[in-house]
Amino acid sequence: MDFLQITGGAKLSGSVEISGAKNAALPIIASTILAKNEVKITNMPEVVDIKTLIKLLGNLGANTKLANHTLSIDTTSINSTKATYDIVRKMRASILVLGPLLSRFGHCEVSLPGGCAIGARPIDLHLAALEKMGAQISIEDGYVVAHAPSGLKGCEIMFDKITVTGCENILMAAALAKGKTRILNAAKEPEVVQICEILRDSGLSISGIGTSEIELEGSGGELLSMPDIKVISDRIEAGTYLCAAAMSASKITLNHTQKELLGAVIDKLELMGASFEYTDESITIIPPKSLSPVEITTTEFPGFPTDMQAQFMALACVAKGVSIIDERLFENRFMHASELVRMGANIKLNGHIATITGANLKAADVMATDLRASSALVIAALGASGVSNIHRIYHLDRGYENLEGKLSALGADIKRLKEED
């Protein structure tokens, strides 16, 4: 098993290329199940989660080839509709094949999902929406078994709470359904917007893109002619590098990203003292000499993303004063706090609220507990005095492409090493 060894205190400089968004690429890959042609997807991040989903579609019978950040995928050869536990257990986003498989074939079996242990992220909302569209669903031996012998039918779906993957799943299910589907309380995340744009560019009539009310006219079972697709920039990766720059008081430039994707993150960094310069495809951060404290409440887009909460907790650990973080979306998403405390952080937890008083961080051996927590530990190690070892970084590899290589090129003292038996 690999671990990262980081010597804190190095200054960063230069520029870093931001990869395609993992959270956009996953539903895009699943959406190709709806296509009657081979689809070419560029700007594909080559991370573990992506390779897991590609393997899943390959197991279903699709022909796939990933090289140089381009995925060519032909799903016309799919000959199985069972997404097995062995793959789905590794990643919750595997549930994204449920909607398109059911819509195209009228039946499927998808294992209940796994992934990061950051709280119960039930798929009840997905299943209730599919049942409203005419699906018959049961849970058998750990599998969602779904049938729609007469095909799915468009209807009005009101989500009780905003769900990104739920919205994506129902958009893909509605794509081949008969009639019009209207989704109320829809997610507005850029990744949802991109799926809507792909379905529109594949010939479907869709309105309300980027709003909380989306209306889509299904094709009535006819497969889609999908265009080539370029995955949008990864706003969470970009935000993580901005936090790395803020932690190390370093000026760096992020290429292949846009300010519009990072509004809430940039707002909070400005409150902490940073300033920014922009072009159409780049962001440069000019950090302050010392960070001011901040108050954050996680919420759905365009609010502050839960996927950036851990990284900002690391920054708050060295800010001059008391910061408050209110995590509203996931109940177990403060597991990184105890690891930051090992590095000298002053963090008090009370339910979903963390109170962080700025202190000096010291190097320690720490353990990643989930994807974004692992990047928070990397950021903390950059600002800590001494040599830190970050273990269980397989979490990191699920969503960050060549993190140590990119940070090293910026000037960080970081190495990937093998654990001794």
Q: Which of 108, 116, 196, 317 is catalytic?
A: 116
**Residue 243 contacts residue 314 (beta carbons within 8 Å):** yes
Q: How far is residue 236's CA from residue 307's CA, in Å, rounded to a whole number? A: 7
Q: How far is residue 49's CA from residue 56's CA, in Å, rounded to a whole number? A: 11
**Residue 28 contacts residue 231 (beta carbons within 8 Å):** yes
**Residue 196 contacts residue 209 (beta carbons within 8 Å):** yes
Q: How many CB atoms lie within 10 A of CB 26?
A: 25
Q: Distance from CA of residue 300 to its chain's centroid?
A: 13
Task: Give the neighbor-by-neighbor strand order of the sheet with 295-297.
Answer: 295-297, 322-326, 353-357, 346-350
3-state secondary structure of 119: coil
**Residue 247 contacts residue 319 (beta carbons within 8 Å):** no
Q: How far is residue 267's CA from residue 276's CA, in Å, rounded to a whole number? A: 10
Q: Looking up tokens 């759905």, which residue turns up?
A: 300
Q: How far is residue 241's CA from residue 265's CA, in Å, rounded to a whole number? A: 11
Active site residue 196: no
Q: How far is residue 32's CA from residue 226's CA, in Å, rounded to a whole number? A: 8
Which residues are identified as catalytic? 116
